[in-house]
Chain A
Amino acid sequence: MIRSIIKLFSVAFISISLTVISTVASAEITINWPSIWVGKDSKATVIRELVDEFNAANSGDITVVIEEQTDYDIYGNKLVAQIATGSLPDVFTVGADLLDIMNKSGKAMDLAPHIASDSHWNNVYPEGAFESKMMGDKLFYLPYELFVTPVTYNKKLLKAAGYDEFPDNYDDFFKMCEAVTATGKVCTSQMTGKNGWTSMLWFSQVLVSAGGPDVYKNGLDDPAFVKAFEVMEKMYKYTTSDAIGADAGVSGGHFLNERTAVFMNGPWFIARYTSDGIEGLHANIGVAPAPMLKGGKGAPGGYVGGAQSSLAAGKQSDPAKEKAVVKFLKWLTTPENVARLSYSSGAMFIVKADLPNDMDRLFTEMNNGKGNAPYVVEIYQNAIGSLAAVKEFPQAMSALALGEVTPEEAVQMLIDAE
């Protein structure tokens, strides 16, 4: 009788403790990542692979769940809503427009102690990568993806106009535009729709060649801004008739269809020259730094570009979860994984990466140009420090191009946007 009671008791005890142990053991950490690198984004496939591999390597302990965000504007709104009313996601990416509010929110994870305590970060990031990003002694984001935007031009169309090389100054550039127009093609792609991306890139180039790499120090009062608008006004005389109000699809489309000879965009666009461009377009494309303005403070070969997205994490109260998040961030920043991302999408990263030899020719040219450039200055959108001035740019550009305002008044529009 007593024996059977003991037996019963021990069976019950063992099974209960096994259940408890397995429950505790399977207390898995879930990391939520509302990711914009999904859907048709060029990095989507590799990111998916990286997450799956991480989950497999950490199965039972950590699971990273991607929440697909396909609309960047709404993603930004959601982030602001989360900052205002709740907590930030476990892992997320931040573009230049949201860095400021995220830094000041007090809801992001401080990464400085993790960087100090682990040599991984100093090994994979170049010297001084973090200094300028720190808020006091805290660091709230990891610079990750970057880009440069040199000129991409159609060698065939330039040759037909009598130009074997891309001009290195604006006087020759506009002479070339005349010649290209004479062959029946249009010289440049421009756009004032949405955020005026292509034109904004050109604007940044002229700014830097007029005012030098420190042009943003004095803000909108720097005379370089007026100069830049003067050049842009001229450039709009050599663009397609639908440039005003056009969005990236339209302005890119013209270059892809060989209607325009000169374009400007980041390395992520390279794949499209082959997939959506006219036959043989890719082989005809050349990369060149933007022209220089006579009497400007810029140096030849100077590049313009910027930080694309940075990695960040929400504050965690559970130290185990914090560790898991940092582990995932490390996984995303290993040189091998970054090289994989670069290779498949054409994206560039601040993290050191051993790129394979068969990267796309245009990517290599851009990368080399970046390496040889005397400076790489942030684009207007990232550097001007005023969201309102960025938003007003396409309106000022269209007003200028339509003759509604003078270059000085266009700059005034940017100032008044505050």
Chain B
Amino acid sequence: MQRDLSTNFYSIIKWIIIISFVFYAIFPFLWLVLASLKTNAELLDDPFKLPKVFQFKNYTDAIEAAGLGRLIINSLVISTSATFLNILFSSMVAFAIARHTFWGRNVLFLTISAGILVPLNALIIPYFAIINYLNLYDTRTGLILVYCAIGLPVSTFILTEFFKSIPKEIEEAAYLDGCNFVSRYFRIMLPLALPGLATAGTFQFILCWNEFIYAMLLTSSTDIRTIQFGISYFTNQFFSDYVGMFAAVVVSILPSITVFILFQEKVISGLTAGSVKG
């Protein structure tokens, strides 16, 4: 009897907390959609009032004016390639560090992790020089390489911790059975660490998708440009076409959310807790 009460109490608190945070989180998105359906005059007057007429043409205008379709495809290509490379490289390093002892292992890990500290905004001139030197200015490859590199510290850091915390027994058994390095990586480690890979991959994708400064800095032709350029199309030095921008933002969010749902759904919930046993 007493336990039922405290269970219910816990339940109630739980739902209050969850609902409040969910509301807090979804509010920006709802407001974005609302604001994107107003006119600029209405928005400046009172950002939170409902518009007189829902301006759906903001969306068609935005898509046409900024060529959002092609920009989204560019962003997709660049972000997926960069994410794939990033997860591949960082999982390889994480596997090496987490599962083997070798000279310089700790130094390697700390150095790569220290990359998280670096203020990327301050590296504009070096990155510009390096990309130009490699003749990769205004190419998708250049951006992909840069994005892959930028995310390496975080991905390596996350994946190493994930790998370390997976019990070693399965691998040790395989090792004793004569399973070699590469097989251990592909056949055992990767499947076990799928939640971690999906997590790091999602973050990397979103990093690439939302990145603006280097997307503008390292490209110049519109066929290479990404969706963030499309959003900045609506602002300039002296004023912003806020509603056009918000329409573009809403359009640009949808792929990221889709990727998140796909990755998290397919991989994580597919694995029930019971399948990972010692």
Contacts and interface: CB of A to CB of B under 8 A. Distances in A.
A and B associate: yes
B125 interface: yes
Contact of B239 (A69, A77, A248): A248
A249 interface: yes
B241 A40 contact: yes
Contact of B236 (A32, A40, A257, A276): A40
A39 B66 CA distance: 8
A85 B232 contact: no
A220 B239 CA distance: 30
B233 interface: yes
A268 interface: yes
A194 B125 CA distance: 23
Given A67-B220, A74-B213, A276-B44, A268 B234 contact: no
Interface string A251-279: 01100110000000110110010011110
A9 interface: no
A258 to B, nearest CB: 10
Interface in A56-73: 67-72
Given A77-B124, A81-B128, A85-B129, A72 B236 contact: yes
A80 interface: yes
A403 interface: no
A86 B124 CA distance: 13
A34 B220 CA distance: 8
A253 B233 contact: no
Contacts of A256: 41, 44
A58 B233 CA distance: 29
Contact of A67 (B66, B129, B221, B244): B221
Interface in B121-167: 124-125, 128-129, 132
Contacts of A275: 40
Contacts of A72: 236-237
B239 A272 contact: yes
Contacts of B234: 39-40
A84 B125 contact: yes
B181 interface: no
B232 A70 contact: yes
A86 B236 contact: no
Contacts of A248: 238-239
A275 B238 CA distance: 15
Contacts of A252: 44, 239
Interface in B19-46: 40-41, 44-45
Contact of B238 (A71, A78, A268, A276): A268
B217 interface: yes
Given A248-B238, A252-B239, A70 B217 contact: no
Q: Which of A77, A197, A256 has the most CB of B within 10 A?
A: A77
Nearest to A39: B233
Contacts of A36: 236-237
Given A85-B125, A85-B132, A70 B220 contact: no
B259 interface: no
Interface residues of B, number: 32
Nearest to B130: A85
Given A85-B128, A253-B44, A278-B41, A39 B236 contact: yes
A354 interface: no
A81 B124 contact: yes
Contacts of B222: 68
Given A40-B235, A74-B216, 7 more contacts: A38-B233, A69-B216, A70-B233, A71-B212, A250-B44, A252-B44, A257-B44
B238 A81 contact: no
A78 B128 contact: yes
The 7 closest A-B pairs by CB, nearest first: A253-B44, A67-B220, A81-B128, A85-B129, A70-B232, A39-B233, A74-B216
A41 interface: yes
Interface string A73-97: 0100110111011100000000000
A265 B239 CA distance: 12
Interface string A37-57: 011110000000000000000
A69 B225 CA distance: 11
Interface residues of A, number: 39
Nearest to B47: A253
Nearest to A67: B220
Q: Which of A78, A197, A278 has the most CB of B within 10 A?
A: A78
Contacts of A276: 40-41, 44
Given A81-B124, A276-B41, A41 B236 contact: yes
A256 B43 CA distance: 12
B86 to A, nearest CB: 24
A248 B242 CA distance: 12
24 contacts: A34-B220, A40-B234, A40-B239, A67-B220, A68-B225, A70-B236, A72-B237, A74-B216, A77-B217, A78-B216, A78-B217, A82-B128, A85-B132, A248-B238, A250-B44, A252-B44, A253-B44, A253-B45, A256-B41, A257-B41, A257-B45, A268-B238, A269-B239, A276-B41
A344 to B, nearest CB: 16
Contacts of A80: 125
B183 interface: no
B44 A269 contact: no
B229 interface: yes
A36 B220 CA distance: 12
Given A78-B128, A81-B125, A249 B242 contact: yes
A68 B229 CA distance: 9
Contacts of A78: 128, 216-217
A248 B9 CA distance: 50
A252 B129 CA distance: 39
Nearest to A247: B240
Contacts of B244: 40
Contacts of B40: 275-276
Contacts of A268: 238
Contacts of B213: 74
Interface in A106-159: none
Contacts of B129: 81, 84-86
